[in-house]
Amino acid sequence: MSSKARIGLLGPFPMNGGDGTHSYAKNSTLQRKSADAVRGKIGEAIAEKLDMETLCSGGKSFHIADFGCSTGPNTFIAIQNILESVERKFKTQCPTSQTPEFQAFFNDQASNDFNSLFTTLPLDRQYFAAGVPGSFHGRLFPDSSLHFAYSSTALHWLSKVPEELLDKNSPSFNKGRIYYTNTLDKVVDAYSSQFAKDMEIFLDARAKEVVAGGMLVMTMPGQPNGIPHCQTGLGMSIDYLESCFLDMVNEGIISEAKVDSFNLPMYSATLEEMKELIQRNGSFNVEKTELTMANGELQLQSYSSYTGRILQMHLRAGMEEMISKHFGTEIIDDLFDRYAMKVEYFFHRLQSSERKGALLFVVLKRK
Amino acid sequence: MSSKARIGLLGPFPMNGGDGTHSYAKNSTLQRKSADAVRGKIGEAIAEKLDMETLCSGGKSFHIADFGCSTGPNTFIAIQNILESVERKFKTQCPTSQTPEFQAFFNDQASNDFNSLFTTLPLDRQYFAAGVPGSFHGRLFPDSSLHFAYSSTALHWLSKVPEELLDKNSPSFNKGRIYYTNTLDKVVDAYSSQFAKDMEIFLDARAKEVVAGGMLVMTMPGQPNGIPHCQTGLGMSIDYLESCFLDMVNEGIISEAKVDSFNLPMYSATLEEMKELIQRNGSFNVEKTELTMANGELQLQSYSSYTGRILQMHLRAGMEEMISKHFGTEIIDDLFDRYAMKVEYFFHRLQSSERKGALLFVVLKRK
């Protein structure tokens, strides 16, 4: 699984804001690696599938939205790439018309650090920028007002923890675990069913907002068929985090009940699951779906300098707020120090799991 | 001059953010008083002049923007008022059509506290919300993408201090003063000419962004004809602030040079000046222009409980950042304590000046 997938950082709790040591802005280079990998594919999809003549006839402006943008710089790079690809396609298709104006909407939850996002917007941007606060599990834009919707490393975050995981009397009670690796099938089902509900709401909302012929591109951690969750990079990473929590229970630093009632609201779908959800929604034509296997060898070489400490910095930028809210801020430094040590110690296992990781890449077009 | 005008709070420096003691959110009730006064007038203008059939044919959504919104709650109240008036007009004019969806754009400079704005958005709002960071002295939206542009107590702030005021060798050098009351005509001219340049840029940008038939409503402090600047509430208030600075120079707390190089970038235009600028721009039909005289008696009664301390809290919410940047944060408490005492002492003079204050109210329609 790609490093981006393993430490996907967007969710119901915002990334760490600002530009300090633990900020997302300073700890999102791994996400960029994955974004780089799909950049070319997005350009291809735009070149091959987007009909600019229909979308921008009569001098209409072109509206792009990034759902789950967090703070910069990754979202700025993504928007710039989309803009340039669209512009290129327009010039090929409508060589005598004037290039459309672009408006870019940066969406994330209202608690996201929009102040940082806004003050770091590229000064030489070729688009009008707007921030849109609110959950993408719901409507955010007027009918047919977007031409290109994009979401990167965000949709694997669930809108909430499935309730049955917290119910002591439920067969899905997730005792002593914080995720769905190495646990009951019922727990996996609860996660999978929450993901299906969330995607249904997301696709319904975007179907209303994206104009006919407009594009929806999604990338997120994916689950390869036939590989147990616990053997993926993401599963393994979370297992280490879980074992840090359990160590802290054993040392009396946190209570068992606290761990029992904490579950990470993220899920990696298989390509088949995703295809089925898109088909069930019915509003989009599937232009491309792909489970990109991370290139393990390449990752090993290029990430050889990443120590456990750097990986924990990335995880911390994405999860600190969520964990603090449940366990209190006082355990944070201790927890992530333990995590860094554990990851460093077991780094060779994580490295081999890289080969079993994957990124879902989906290109849809609004019917 | 209305209290709102006297302590107009938007400018090149943002209002104090957050919701603390000195925040704009907690210190903008006086601005709301003035907004209340024009609310009915805006409703009337929409009812009489806005052609909803043209603007929202074919189920198009209706886009409203507030230029210089600061943080809540005043901007939310204004947007809600506009939305309800537009909806009422639509139902009258197109009783069988479905009410349009609304998108509201909240604009202020990138350094505005959008995080506070976004987390205090009304939960029961009937519009899709977006924040637009950047100076309204320039383009912020695509061509013809707005149906209703609004700006309240913001346009009297200049984009910058006229440069000649700072030049020791210029006849407009504004020695020992921080504003244009009781000073050289050349200084007044420099202020007035900067205001003209700024309004030209503002009107040019909005002319491109507002659709044909769309509306632009502006309210800001105005200057009644025949009344010296120094006798208006705003002029008098700033004179007190200036004299606090000069007291601090005399006591050796700040240097004379610091005061010489500080000028408040605000200007109150007369109705005639404003009309001329609109005509020179040429893109809008004038539907209504009005210099509303503040009702002194009413203000005296309703504001009798406002002490100098409360007035200084309002002034501080709007000017603290600007003053801190020039003089340093260490003088702020001292300065505003002095100001509060001075205002309290001379409150009767401020009260009588209320009668000489005015609010410019302008309704334009894009040709």
What tens digit of pLDDT does each residue of B15-42 get? 777 777 777 776 666 666 667 778 899 9
The phi, psi pair for A360, rounded to 5°, reads: -80, 130
Confidence of residue B344 (pLDDT cuts 50, 70, 90): confident
Asked if A121's CB is within 8 angstroms of B128's CB, the reply is: no
Q: Do B142 and A131 touch (CB under 8 A)?
A: no
Residue B210, H or E segment: strand B210-221
The total number of residues shown for chain A amounts to: 367
* pLDDT score at A224: 86
pLDDT (average), residues B229-257: 88
Q: How big is the CA angle at A8 (ends A291 and A112), to the nearest 5 degrees?
A: 130
Q: Supply the pLDDT for residue A7.
A: 30
Distance of CA A363 to the CA centre of its chain: 15
Mean pLDDT of the region B322-338: 92
- DSSP result, B235-281: HHHHHHHHHHHHHHHHTTSS-HHHHHT----B--B-HHHHHHHHHHH
Contact yes or no for B232/B268 (Cβ under 8 A): yes
The C-alpha atoms of residue A286 and residue A363 are separated, in whole angstroms, by: 6
Does residue B348 carry a pLDDT above 90? no
| Predicted local confidence at residue B259, as pLDDT | 92
pLDDT at position B200 over 60: yes
CB nearest A140 (choices: B105, B128, B131): B128
Closest CB to B119 among A59, A111, A139: A111
Q: What's the rounded Cα separation, in Å, for the pair A204 and A109? A: 18
Highest-scoring range by mean pLDDT, B203-217, B218-232, B234-248:
B203-217
What is the second-level CATH architecture of the domain B3-366?
Answer: 3-Layer(aba) Sandwich (3.40)
Which one is predicted more confidently, A28 or B188?
B188
CA distance A116 to A16: 11
Please give the full DSSP string across A126-148, using - where no structure is assigned: SEEEEEEES-SSS--S-TT-EEE
User: Is B193:B162 a contact under the CB 8 Å cutoff?
Assistant: yes
> Which residue has 């994405």 as its token pair?
A318
Q: To which H or E segment does residue A250 belong?
A: helix A233-250
CB contact under 8 A, B110 and A119: yes
Range with top average pLDDT, B279-288, B300-309, B329-338: B279-288
| pLDDT by residue, tens only, chain A of 367 residues | 222 322 333 334 667 777 777 777 766 666 666 677 788 999 999 999 999 998 987 778 999 999 999 988 999 999 999 999 999 999 999 999 999 999 999 999 999 999 999 999 999 999 999 999 999 999 999 999 999 999 998 999 999 999 889 888 988 899 888 888 878 888 999 999 999 999 999 999 999 999 999 999 999 988 888 888 777 777 888 888 999 999 999 999 999 999 999 999 999 999 999 999 999 999 999 999 998 865 443 343 344 445 566 667 777 877 888 899 999 999 999 998 898 888 877 777 766 655 556 789 999 999 9
B203 pLDDT exceeds 70?
Answer: yes
B293 forms beta bridges with B358
Q: Name the residue among A111, A118, A128 with its Cβ closest to that of B110.
A: A118
Helix axes B185-209, B271-281, angle to 10 degrees: 40
Pick the residue of A109, A115, A141, A208 with the most B CBs within 10 A to test the interface with B by mutation. A115
- For A257, the 3-state DSSP assignment is helix
d(CA B30, CA B18): 18
Cβ-in-10-Å burial (0-12, 13-18, 19+) of A98 comes to exposed
Could you give the angle at the alpha carbon of A329 between the alpha carbons of A328 and A330, nearest 5°? 95
Q: Is the dihedral of CA B298, B301, B306, B311 positive or negative?
A: positive
> Residue range B59-77: average pLDDT?
93
Q: Which helix (H) or strand (E) holds B42?
A: helix B29-49
CA distances from A246 to A153, A252, A288 (A): 28, 10, 42
| Contact status of A59 with chain B (Cβ, < 8 Å) | yes
What is the rounded distance in angstroms from the CA atom of residue A166 to the CA atom of residue A162?
8
* pTM, two decimal places: 0.89
3-state secondary structure of A167: coil
Quick check: A130 and B132 CB within 8 A? yes
* SS3 at position B317: helix
Contact (Cβ atoms closer than 8 angstroms) between residue B323 and residue B335? yes
Please tell me if residue B132 touches chain A, with a CB cutoff of 8 Å: yes
Q: Which amino acid is present at A12? A: P
Cα A231 from Cα A148, distance rounded (Å): 35
What residues 93-112 of chain A have any CB closer than 8 A to a CB of chain B? 101-103, 105, 110-111
With a cut of 80, say whether residue B308 has pLDDT above it.
no
- ipTM comes to 0.88
Contacts of B77 (CB under 8 A, 6+ apart): B32, B35
Q: What is the DSSP letter of A226?
A: T
Residue B354 at interface with chain A, using a CB cutoff of 8 Å: no
CB A70 within 8 A of CB A25: no
SS3 of B149, please? strand
Structure confidence at residue A308 (pLDDT): 61
The fraction of chain B above a pLDDT of 90, given in percent, is 58
Say which of B103, B118, B140 has its CB closest to residue A142: B103
Q: Tell me the chain A residues in contact with residue B143 when contact means C-beta distances shorter than 8 Å.
A: 59, 61, 101
Contact B223, B229 (CB under 8 A): yes
HSE (side-chain half, CA atoms, 13 Å) at A122: 14
Q: Is B133 on the interface with A (CB under 8 A)?
A: yes
- Sequence-ordered alpha helix ranges (H) in B50-93: 52-55, 74-93
Which of A101, A119, A142 comes nearest B128 by C-beta?
A142
Sign for the pseudo-dihedral over CA of B367, B52, B127, B122: positive
Whether residues A115 and B114 touch (CB distance < 8 A) is answered with yes
A133 inside 8 A of chain B by CB: yes
In 3-state terms, what secondary structure has residue B226? coil
CA atoms of A195 and A156, how far apart (whole Å): 8
Residue with tokens 């040019």: B204
